[in-house]
Amino acid sequence: MGGAWEIIGWIGSGIIVLSMLQQRITRLRLVNLVGCLVSLAYSVAIGAWPLAGLNAALSAIQIYHLIKLWRTRDDARVYQTLTTSPGAEIVVYLLERHGSEIRSLFPAFREAAHSDHAFVVMNRDEVVGLVLASQEGDVAELDVDYVTPPYRDLTPGRFVFSRTSAWTELGVTRVRSAVGGPDYYENIGFTKVSGALGEEPRYERRLAEA
């Protein structure tokens, strides 16, 4: 029996180490929580009470932060969308810092100079997302809809599209996703529409009339 618990203890330690390799903050906390709970069971089984207390405290901390993340994911007091221009320094910086990943996610994107509108998504004082769009008539087509890896599970980009007044002031009544972009749009009010012949399906959100 002791050998089995020792294996469980090693598994718990391995899961905790694995959690440290996660880029997404929600996934990091979830995986770490699982590791702490496994290690807690092991600690109790072998009577290592100081270690059990440590893992119990770490589990409680992770649960607290996970609840806080999930409760605030739709909170406009936590996430803010700032309207800027495609040539702004912050946009240039984000494209330089995350350019290779952005271009892998949005292969049709070349440079911000081809976009008409830019939005930066903030989590309090931290930049967590960038949206660039080109406008033709009353339709805005997304060139980039990027979220930094730690916040990707929380889809903060939704705050850009919930600010319908920011779009309608620009004369936009429909926002359309880029070809090959992320597929989370149906969760934030977009509808799947057929693309051109041979293209992947796209997503579109109709706003109030400008």
Q: Which helix (H) or strand (E) holds 98?
A: helix 89-105
**Torsion of Cα atoms, 20 then 23 then 26 then 32, to 10°:** -10
The stretch 165-172 carries a mean pLDDT of: 90
Q: Which helix (H) or strand (E) holds 117?
A: strand 117-123
Give the pLDDT score at 3: 81
Question: Residue 149, class by beta-carbon neighbours within 10 Å (0-12 exposed, 13-18 middle, 19+ buried)?
Answer: middle
Pair of tokens at residue 208: 């109030």
Task: Name the pLDDT band for 99 (thresholds 50, 70, 90).
Answer: very high
Which residues, 6 or more positions from 66, have their beta carbon under 8 angstroms from its beta carbon?
26, 29, 30, 33
DSSP, collapsed to helix, strand or coil, labels residue 149 as helix
121-142: pLDDT as tens digits: 999 899 999 999 999 999 999 9
Average pLDDT of every residue of the chain: 89
Cβ count near 16 (within 10 Å): 19
**Angstrom distance (rounded) from CA 16 to CA 20:** 7
Residue 209 has pLDDT above 60, yes or no: no
The stretch 69-78 carries a mean pLDDT of: 85
The stretch 43-64 carries a mean pLDDT of: 95
The stretch 96-124 carries a mean pLDDT of: 93
171-192: pLDDT as tens digits: 999 999 987 667 788 888 888 8
Give the pLDDT score at 210: 42
Pairing of β 117-123 and β 79-84:
antiparallel
Residue 70 has pLDDT above 50, yes or no: yes
The stretch 105-118 carries a mean pLDDT of: 92
- Percent of the chain at pLDDT exceeding 70: 94
Give the pLDDT score at 197: 57
Q: Write down the residue that tokens 């440590």 correspond to.
A: 54
